Each structure stands twice: as C-alpha cells, then as structure tokens.
Amino acid sequence: MTIGVFDSGLGGLTIVATMRSQLPGANIIYIADTANAPYGEKTKEQILNYSIHITDYLVEHHHIDALVVACNTATSAAIIELRERYSNLIIVGTEPGLKPAISHSETKKVGVLATPATLEGEKYKALVAMLSNHYHVEVFEQPCPGLVQQIESGETTSDKTLSMLETWLSPMRDHNVDTIVLGCTHYPLVKESIQRVMRRSITFIDSAEGVTKRLIYLLSEKGHEFHGKTSLHLFSTGPIDTTMVETILGENFRVSVINSLN
C-alpha cells in the first residue's frame, strides 16, 4: 500500500516517525510544501488550493491508497473538500486532541497551542464549546505565530524561541495548566523548551499516535495487510533543513525538490 502524507514543512514527519514503526510494508510518500509555508498564516482558500494540488500530485504520480493530512491547519481548511473530491481514497486528518487532554488533566485546566488558522476553525470552536461545558474544564488557547518558522530553522531551544514561549505560556503556568495540546504537528519538536518554560511536569497530547491508529483501522477495513519492509520517500516544494529531518527521523534521508506539482 502507498500512503501519501503532506504538511507545510517538517512537522508532519513527527507523524511519519510513528507510522514507520507501526505500518510494516507501507510505502510512504511525504511532501513538505515549504514553498508555501507556513500554512497557519494563509487564508482558507489558499490552504485549500495547496491541499488539492498536492493530493492531485500524489494520486497521479504515486497512485496512493491513502492520504494523511499531517497538518492541523490544512485539515481544518480542506478535509471536507478533499473527501468529496477523492471519495475512493482513505483520508485521515489531524486535529487537536482536546478530549484525551481533558481526560488526562487533573487540574481540569488545559492549554492548547496552535496556529491562528486552527484556532479560528469552526469545527474546533464547536468542539471546545461542547467539551468545556460537558466536562467543566477551562481551556487556555494560544496562537503561536512565528513558532513554525523557528522550528523549521532548527531554532527549537534558542533564546528567541524560549522568549516567545515564555510570553505565550506564562498565563498557563500562572493558572496551573497541567496538560497541553500540541495543536500543530511541528510543536512536538519544542516539547523540551515548553517543559522548561512551564517549570512543572506537563502532559503533552499530540496527534501522531491517534492518526496512526485511525489509519491502521481504515486500511485494515479495506483488507490491507501489514508485513514487510517500510519505505519512505521525502519531497519538498522548496528549501528544507535536512538536519532537522535527521533529528526527527533519527537517520539521514535524501529530500528531492519538486519544481512543479503539475
């Protein structure tokens, strides 16, 4: 089986790392759309357009059986349209893990770090309202403009990144937040820095495990079997930090640049 995965940059590789360990025999094609990054500061129409072009490319050139939208922002903007256009594909999106965060939180005070576009999504807002009322939890939302760029540049522990996180996280620290939802696939790469700024033990909720489990379930329903060697091919639409690729995946991978998605 061939699985297409895309994100605006390197963040989706945090999901790919989990997929590689749990999907033996899969052929994974990953596209980092660095030419258009970051998605979190683009309009919904732009993100939808990028998502359609990438999916067309994966279908036409790699004949994928499944698609993972490894980006919270793209999921919010494009998942409905993608499922309508490619009804024969298994499509799994990525959404902030609010429900598991609430179940893990002892203080019932949960933080959500995400891009502005994710936090403004209608589906996300409805989920927060429903869960907040039902579970009597207080949710502290924080958009993180510029954090994706810091991570893409390998600045995960730099003074500038720590200063940004201090500004965003100090209200959560003051209100005794004990669980933080990493609402962008890039953000697991700054867990260490977040922990440092919060100055207490924090439970982190990210999407990698949940997305992989959902994908395995849907592939199994279609009769796919999981055995053999997993292969991974990485592509980008623009410049990419290969050192960070190695940091995420634990080994060196060659990244091919796609000059056109047509």
**Which sequence positions are flagged as catalytic?**
71, 184
SS3 assignment for the chain: CEEEEEECCCCCHHHHHHHHHHCCCCEEEEEECHHHCCHHHCCHHHHHHHHHHHHHHHHHHHCCCEEEECCHHHHHHHHHHHHHHCCCCEEECCCCCHHHHHHHCCCCEEEEEECHHHHCCHHHHHHHHHHHHHHCCEEEEEECCCHHHHHHCCCCCCHHHHHHHHHHHHHHHHCCCCEEEEECCCHHHHHHHHHHHHCCCCEEECCHHHHHHHHHHHHHHCCCCCCCCCEEEEEECCCCCHHHHHHHHCCCCCEEECCCCC
d(CA 4, CA 234): 10
Sheet (strand 90-92) strand order:
90-92, 66-69, 2-7, 27-32, 231-236, 255-257
